[in-house]
């Protein structure tokens, strides 16, 4: 049985691997010349810039996601770096008892708890209450990823099981809590402000913080040395080794349908590739409204199409610099307040400055040099997309204006590096849309907002269309690599079930030495 897959991102590659394991003939069609989709990095001069994998959920056996990753690539071949500090958060108005304005979010739970209690002994009870559900999470397979259901529904099923009662108690207790909620629990003004600023002043569900901390502590949320592209190519290696076929530089124009069934793809130069089954692991909007001309929709889908901009995950402005200096004395990841607000050409006003220094990955820059990125979220993605499309001069001038402001701030932050910057690279929402096809340059699909367990707005199928499946990080609010790999696996299990094939996982080739 032949399956055509649109998109060589992580979800498309994952689906291709499991289909090959289960006896299908698969072809992946990718408009780019490389795999990975949003899981990518790129070279410019002597430097490599990354835009994705700051940490991999399941980098070691401390997380159940390790099981899936290890099914599709040899995890022992990948070197991971585990940070002692997740992020250093600079405060604007409060200092701690040692006269320091920086809060350290340690990845070791015992260290983090002792550090917080030392800073705010009057908040000992609230601190222990914050730590308790994180430690409870470590006892369980969260979510039960080998369940038949998608990501969060499988979590809900799991917590209903009797052995999950302890977790259920804590989950129900904090499920509606946010970092702002916890901030109000603290008496200490330093700790209170630190929690308010953990996510650049945004209010997010506490599961966004507590679940990662539960695996950071177990050394199972490491950064893959070599960056995202190297990681994606490892997955591609598995797909090719199983006999899958890649078609690079082959953008899909249309999904062919006949009598309510998907029968093939039309790619560039109007070449047709027929198949028994079609999977789109590409952008949701492109798939539904371009490749399928909006013919297979319902009111829920139309509402999504016309939803407010805040329903789509933020786009990213990423400024990458190759700096001719060893910056090992600086924190690898920090968010600091700005004395003067920074105004973007798109109108967004930023009060904080996020700096990512890759001083822990020597493969990204020559010896004695360092890769640095500065990132900002924006909802004003249309400014950049429209400017690049309709007024290229305005687009270039806007990028240059913003970049110069960033360099001036970076120069102060990193003790005079302006004259040591050898390479500058700027990625806007237009860049992400152009290279990955993601609607409006969204980096993680749908925005989960406060409710992490919200119903998935996109399912594996479309109304009225047979022999077609959809699988990508758009399947679940929040997106990201865990969603991408989980949906890739789940969609193949569904295909096998509907075709009365017993789903199986075959052993992949492992390196004989590491």
- Which CATH number, 3.50.50.60, 3.30.300.10, 3.10.20.600, 3.40.630.30, labels domain 2-41+228-308+446-498? 3.50.50.60
The answer to whether the beta carbons of residues 25 and 347 sit under 8 Å apart is no
Taking CA atoms, 388 is separated from 153, 319, 366, 400, 431, in Å, by 40, 17, 33, 13, 9
Bridge partners (DSSP) listed for residue 317: 376
Cα-based distances in Å from 492 to 144, 152, 481, 489: 17, 18, 17, 5
| End-to-end Cα, the chain, rounded Å | 37
Q: What are phi and psi of 171, to 5 degrees?
A: -60, -45
Give the separation between CA 389 and CA 395, rounded to whole angstroms. 9
**Residue of 216, 230, 229, 219 lying closest to 78 (CA atoms):** 230
Whether 400 and 456 have beta carbons less than 8 Å apart is answered as no
Question: How are the residues of the chain apportioned to helix, strand and coil, as percentages rounded to the nearest 5?
Answer: 40, 20, 40
Q: Is 427 helix (H, G, I), strand (E, B) or coil?
A: strand
Closest CA to 119 of 96, 85, 87: 96
Instruction: Report in angstroms the alpha-carbon separations of 269 from 2, 250, 273, 328, 381.
Output: 22, 9, 12, 50, 31
**What is the residue extent of each domain of the chain?**
2-41+228-308+446-498, 84-218, 314-440
Token pair in block for residue 431: 């860049």
* Distances, alpha carbon 162 to alpha carbons 68, 146, 156, 175, 466, in Å: 25, 18, 12, 19, 38
Per-residue pLDDT 10s for the chain (514 aa) are: 999 999 999 999 999 999 999 999 999 999 999 999 999 999 999 999 999 989 999 999 888 899 999 999 999 999 999 999 999 999 999 999 999 999 999 999 999 999 999 999 999 999 999 999 899 888 876 554 445 545 555 555 555 555 667 777 777 777 788 899 989 999 999 999 999 998 877 888 888 888 889 999 999 999 999 999 999 999 999 999 999 999 999 999 999 999 999 999 999 999 999 999 999 999 999 999 999 999 999 988 888 888 754 588 889 999 999 999 999 999 999 999 999 999 999 999 999 999 999 999 999 999 999 999 999 999 999 999 999 999 999 999 999 999 999 999 999 999 999 999 999 999 999 999 999 999 999 998 887 765 555 555 678 999 999 999 999 999 888 888 999 999 999 999 999 999 999 999 999 987 543 3
Residues in contact with 114: Cβ distance below 8 Å, sequence separation at least 6, in sequence order: none
Residue 430 Cα distances to 41, 318, 347, 439, angstroms: 17, 11, 16, 10
Which pTM value belongs to this model? Answer: 0.91
């Amino acid at each position: 049985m032949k399956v055509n897959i649109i998109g060589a991102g992580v979800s498309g590659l994952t689906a291709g691997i499991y289909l090959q394991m289960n006896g299908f003939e698969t072809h992946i069609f990718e408009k780019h010349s490389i795999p990975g989709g949003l899981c990518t990095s790129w070279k410019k001069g002597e430097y490599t810039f990354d835009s994705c994998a700051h940490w991999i959920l399941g980098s070691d056996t401390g997380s159940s996601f390790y099981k899936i990753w290890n099914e599709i690539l040899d995890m022992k071949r990948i070197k991971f770096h585990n940070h002692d500090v997740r992020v250093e958060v600079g405060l604007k108005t409060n200092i701690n008892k040692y006269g320091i304005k920086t809060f350290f979010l340690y990845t070791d739970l015992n260290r983090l708890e002792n550090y917080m209690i030392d800073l705010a002994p009057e908040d000992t009870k609230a601190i222990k209450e914050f730590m308790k559900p994180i430690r409870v999470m470590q006892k369980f397979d969260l979510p039960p990823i080998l369940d038949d259901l998608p990501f969060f529904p499988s979590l809900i099923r799991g917590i209903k099981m009797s052995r999950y009662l302890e977790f259920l108690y804590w989950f129900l207790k904090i499920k509606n809590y946010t970092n702002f909620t916890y901030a109000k629990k603290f008496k200490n003004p330093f700790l209170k402000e630190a929690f308010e600023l953990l996510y650049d002043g945004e209010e997010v569900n506490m599961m966004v913080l507590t679940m990662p901390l539960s695996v950071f502590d177990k050394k199972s949320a490491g950064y893959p040395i070599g960056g995202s592209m190297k990681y994606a190519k490892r997955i591609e290696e598995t797909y090719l080794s199983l006999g899958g076929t890649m078609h690079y530089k082959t953008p899909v124009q249309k999904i062919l349908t006949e009598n309510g069934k998907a029968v093939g793809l039309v790619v560039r130069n109007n070449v047709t590739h027929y198949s028994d089954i079609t999977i789109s692991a590409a952008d949701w909007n492109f798939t539904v409204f371009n490749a399928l001309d909006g013919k297979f929709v319902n009111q829920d889908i139309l509402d999504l199409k016309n939803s407010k901009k805040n329903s789509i995950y933020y786009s990213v402005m990423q400024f990458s610099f190759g700096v001719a200096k060893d910056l090992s004395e600086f924190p690898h990841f920090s968010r600091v307040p700005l004395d003067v607000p920074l105004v973007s050409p798109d109108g967004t006003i930023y009060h904080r400055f996020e700096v990512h220094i890759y001083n822990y990955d020597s493969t990204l820059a020559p010896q004695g040099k360092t890769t640095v990125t500065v990132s900002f979220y924006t909802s004003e993605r249309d400014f950049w997309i429209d400017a690049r499309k309709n007024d290229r001069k305005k687009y270039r001038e806007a990028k240059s204006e913003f970049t110069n402001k960033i360099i001036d701030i970076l120069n102060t932050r990193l003790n005079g590096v302006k004259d040591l910057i050898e390479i500058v690279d700027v990625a806007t929402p237009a860049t992400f849309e152009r290279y990955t096809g993601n609607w409006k340059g969204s980096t993680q699909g749908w925005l989960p907002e406060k409710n992490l367990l919200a119903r998935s707005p996109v399912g594996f199928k479309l109304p009225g269309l047979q022999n077609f499946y959809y699988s990508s990080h758009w399947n679940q609010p929040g997106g990201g690599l865990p969603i991408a790999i989980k949906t890739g696996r789940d969609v193949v299990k569904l295909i096998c079930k509907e075709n009365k094939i017993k789903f199986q996982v075959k052993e992949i080739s492992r390196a004989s030495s590491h």
